[in-house]
């Protein structure tokens, strides 16, 4: 009933789909190291075969056969030894492998990445956003000598300037309590520690224990015990200080992704050593690692240290794959033998990686390794049969069976046999299309989505009709979270919005909010 003006910020060639198509084409067209080896072999094979053909003709002439017979034997050798199968053995398998990977949500940036991944025997996993959902929530708050509302106001004011996932959790929690945000000046981020700022003239800071120690602040015995207890429970304690006094502790927890434990088990069953890498304190990291079944844990690492950990693993003789999603993971992704980026991660991480998991599912990293190993096995089979065929065919074409059995091989039959060898190699490569992804574990509803006690007091499920894409999901989510203290998880596939909060509005208000956003409510539970 009107009109609208739309400005396209990106044209067709810049869309995500076009980028995927282009990268798959580039990966299929690029040469893996094993393909370059086949090219070198073919470069030697061709002159050797020409020499064999020449020797064959000379031998038969010396033996007393007619020039026609000698020439026929020489031509048969040349025809049957044509290295078509040898040349097809690698590129066809690479092309099919990268295509199958893209179909299953695994994007190989190059053929070299597809080959290198089969040698990987050590995988380093970043924690936040890789094995966890990457959207932590506040579970506990404790103040020390200050009013709880003042602590929340301090936390909101200083953390709202930060883009760290833990800061986002604190900000969301503080805003749900409707506290006032104060004036902030001199804000600065300390890499690997936290943030500092002046709030209403008072110097304040927020971060991990390393931040307090670096600034000469000491924790009281009770604060230290509480931090250790929270860390032992798998939560990350964040310390807030004002005027050189510890004001309180926020405990933040990040929920594991549903498939993370199964993915770790699958990697270990493939003979791959798994390492958890995180900036969290040792106790928190150990708790999460125990839940995942990981024994090797590297905790309290600064962003620049991640690349060093990869180098140390490589120095021990390991072929390392690094899995991460953040900007601070980019150097480690680039340093690793194979860098694997989560598709929902930052553009910098994706551009630094060799493999991208488009569905952001860690189980796809298992599929990437399995597919790489199957592709390399397929290539070796192709190369074996190509060489085996030539080892059998060339002597027969040269006439080794002519004297004892009177059997010869005409050039026409040799041409047919040569073509059949190429068909066999291509058919074998196409078997990769039957690759089956690793079955995902059956997850009981809510098994991996236990909400903290602060947010689990009330819940409602709103059935919404008319959502067509992720933009629709964002609109519905924004409409529902406009109510104070309400958080909404909106699922496009089921068309349901699950609400949590201390106080959820009645059904009429929820219906009105969704319908004002342009969608229809068909039921509320």
- Active site (catalytic) residues: 126
Cα–Cα dist 387/314, whole Å: 35
Provide the 10 A C-beta neighbour count for residue 283. Answer: 20
Looking at residue 127, the DSSP 8-state letter turns out to be: I
C-alpha gyration radius of the chain: 31
Closest CA to 328 of 302, 353, 351, 309: 302
Q: Is 299:282 a contact under the CB 8 Å cutoff?
A: yes
Cα–Cα dist 130/341, whole Å: 9
- Alpha helix (H) ranges present in 259-362? 260-269, 282-292, 303-315, 330-335, 347-352
Q: Is 321:308 a contact under the CB 8 Å cutoff?
A: no
Cα–Cα dist 12/92, whole Å: 29
User: Looking at the chain, how many residues does it have?
Assistant: 525
What are the structure tokens assigned to 33, written together? 């190291």
What are the structure tokens assigned to 178, written together? 């409707």
Cα–Cα dist 221/394, whole Å: 84
Q: What is the DSSP secondary-structure string of 253-271?
A: E-PBPTTHHHHHHHHHHTT
Residue 147 main-chain phi, psi, to 5 deg: -65, 135
Q: What is the DSSP secondary-structure string of 455-505?
A: T-SEEEEEEEE---SHHHHHHHHHHHTTSTTEEEEEETTTTEEEEEESSPP
Cα–Cα dist 276/281, whole Å: 12
What are the structure tokens assigned to 30, written together? 């690029």
The gap from C-alpha 7 to its chain's centroid, in whole angstroms, comes to: 32
Beta bridge partners of 125: 276, 323
- C-alpha separations of 491 from 465, 467, 474, 477, 499 in Å: 12, 10, 10, 10, 12
Q: Is 195:189 a contact under the CB 8 Å cutoff?
A: yes
Cα–Cα dist 97/95, whole Å: 5
Largest CA distance in the chain: 111
- C-alpha separations of 396 from 393, 404, 412, 417 in Å: 5, 12, 14, 12
């Amino acid at each position: 009933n009107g009109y609208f003006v739309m400005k396209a910020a990106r044209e067709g060639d810049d869309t995500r789909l076009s980028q995927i198509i282009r990268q798959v084409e580039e990966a299929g067209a690029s040469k893996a190291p094993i393909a370059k080896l086949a090219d070198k072999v073919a470069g030697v094979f061709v002159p050797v075969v020409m020499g064999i053909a020449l020797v064959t003709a000379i031998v038969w002439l010396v033996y007393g056969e007619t020039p026609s017979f000698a020439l026929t034997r020489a031509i048969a050798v040349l025809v049957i030894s044509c290295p078509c199968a040898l040349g097809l053995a690698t590129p066809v398998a690479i092309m099919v492998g990268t295509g199958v990977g893209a179909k299953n949500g695994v994007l190989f940036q190059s053929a070299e990445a597809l080959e290198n991944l089969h040698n990987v025997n050590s995988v380093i996993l970043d924690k936040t956003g890789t094995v966890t959902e990457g959207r932590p929530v506040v579970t506990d708050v404790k103040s020390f000598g200050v009013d709880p509302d003042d602590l929340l106001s301090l936390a909101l004011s200083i953390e709202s300037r930060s883009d760290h996932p833990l800061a986002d959790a604190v900000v969301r929690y503080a805003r749900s309590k409707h506290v006032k945000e104060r004036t902030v000046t001199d804000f600065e981020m300390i890499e690997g520690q936290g943030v500092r700022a002046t709030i209403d003239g008072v110097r304040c800071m927020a971060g991990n224990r390393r931040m307090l120690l670096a600034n000469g602040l000491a924790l009281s015995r009770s604060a230290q015990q509480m931090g250790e207890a929270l860390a032992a429970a798998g939560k990350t304690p964040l310390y807030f200080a004002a005027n050189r006094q510890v004001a309180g502790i926020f405990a933040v927890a990040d929920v594991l992704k549903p498939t993370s434990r199964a993915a770790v088990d699958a990697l270990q069953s493939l003979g791959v050593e798994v390492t958890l890498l995180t900036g969290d304190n040792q106790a928190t990291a150990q708790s999460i690692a125990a839940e995942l079944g990981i024994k090797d844990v590297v905790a309290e690492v600064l962003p620049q240290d991640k690349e060093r950990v990869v180098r140390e693993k490589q120095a021990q003789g390991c072929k390392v794959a690094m899995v991460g999603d953040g900007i601070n993971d980019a150097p480690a992704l680039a340093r690793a033998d194979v860098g694997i980026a989560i598709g929902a991660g930052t553009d910098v991480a994706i551009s630094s990686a060799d493999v991208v998991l488009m569905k952001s599912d860690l189980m796809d990293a298992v599929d990437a390794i399995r597919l790489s190993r199957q592709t390399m096995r397929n290539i070796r089979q192709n190369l074996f049969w190509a060489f085996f065929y030539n080892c059998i065919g060339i002597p027969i074409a040269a006439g080794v069976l002519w004297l004892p059995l009177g059997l010869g091989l005409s050039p026409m039959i040799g041409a047919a046999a040569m073509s059949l060898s190429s068909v066999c190699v291509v058919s074998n490569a196409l078997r990769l299309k039957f690759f089956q992804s690793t079955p995902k574990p059956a997850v009981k509803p809510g098994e991996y989505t236990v909400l903290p006690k602060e947010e689990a007091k009330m819940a409602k499920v709103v059935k919404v009709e008319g959502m067509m894409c992720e933009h629709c999901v964002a609109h519905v989510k924004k409409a529902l979270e406009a109510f104070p203290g309400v958080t909404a998880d909106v699922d496009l596939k089921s068309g349901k919005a699950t609400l949590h909060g201390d106080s959820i509005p009645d059904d009429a208000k929820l219906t009105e909010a969704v319908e004002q956003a342009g969608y229809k409510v068909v039921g509320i539970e």
